[in-house]
Amino acid sequence: MFDVDHEDIRNIVKRALAEDIGGGDITSQLTVPAELDACGSFIAKQELVLAGVELLPLIYAARGGASVTVFHPSGTHLKPTNVIATVTGRAQTLLECERVALNFMQRLSGVATFANKHVQEVARTNVKVLDTRKTTPGLRRLEKMAAAAGGVTNHRAGLFDAVLIKNNHITAAGGVRNALKKAQAFNGPVEIEVRTKAELDEALACGATRLLLDNLTPAEASEWLRYINGRASSELSGNINLANIRQYAEAGPDFISCGAITHSATAVDISFRLELKNT
């Protein structure tokens, strides 16, 4: 679920460490003996869905190494006081890596936890919840893995791996028919947004297989989906949140996309407790 071998992930970790540590952790260097060994525990302080714990070995390896033991993988539902992982090594190394390790796990677990709340809201329907491209610049790969850890289905990774014809593309292309015709050159999934019943009819007449219905009310969505009647798969988006996602799911779409899963997730509370070895 969490593939941390990709070069992008390794570069993100290196940049995060360089940002925080820079030329060195002067506080630890001045106050903690260089030869002192310690162990530390990452502990959940609230109920959460874990994500990003697989980054820990990368973080510590980049600063000289430490022994990392992970007790729960990403996607695990945890309760307060659950120990997520332990790390053993030079005390200075553990201290200088503490904040970067926590920042990644707190942020990514926040995304996974929020994503899972959306998934739970549509339980016992046939709807798949999708994430979006509304991610933190530079962290998309990580945030999408976190969303998947929470049970969400990843939408396209970027502008390069799928065609999604939105309203501005339709305007620039000269209409629904022209946009779909030009998109036929792509050997992959093609989805088109429709804003009116006329555009909907035109898209269906042109053989559209996946429709994006944006900014409808639940009642409007239900009406449009009855009209589509399975002639194409459907995705609802726009102004959908935890308070109303169930209503939209009950309208009967195949997918619901929600940008809030990544752009509005709140970091969860995880702590790091340091203990000296043999004490």
Q: CA–CA distance from 71 to each of 50, 63, 191, 198 (Å)?
A: 11, 22, 41, 55
7 is catalytic: no
Which of 93, 126, 108 lies closest to 48 in space, CA to CA? 108
Tell me how far apart the alpha carbons of residues 147 and 63 are, in angstroms, rounded to a whole number.
28
Q: Collapse the DSSP code of 225 into the 3-class scheme (helix H, G, I; strand E, B; otherwise coil) and give the result.
A: helix
Sheet holding 128-130, edge to edge: 128-130, 255-257, 233-237, 210-214, 190-194, 163-165
Q: Does the active-site annotation cover 79?
A: no
Q: Among this protein's residues, is 214 annotated catalytic?
A: yes
For this structure, is 161 an active site residue?
A: no
CA distance 95 to 40: 9
With 0-12 CB in 10 A as exposed, 13-18 as middle and 19+ as buried, what is 243? Answer: exposed
Which one from 25, 98, 193, 199 is the annotated catalytic residue? Answer: 193
Cα distance between residue 265 and residue 126, in whole Å: 24
Catalytic residue among 10, 45, 99, 140: 99
Place of tokens 């992982």: 85
Among all chains, which residue has been given the structure tokens 């630890």? 28
Catalytic residue among 166, 177, 195, 231: 166
Instruction: Say which amino acid occupies 159.
Output: L
Q: Of 20, 214, 223, 254, which one is the catalytic site residue?
A: 214
* Among 133, 134, 140, 246, the one annotated catalytic: 134
DSSP H stretches of helix in 122-251: 140-149, 167-173, 176-183, 197-205, 218-228, 245-249
166 is catalytic: yes
CB neighbour list of residue 137: distance below 8 Å, 6 or more residues apart: none
Q: Which residues are catalytically annotated?
A: 99, 134, 166, 193, 214
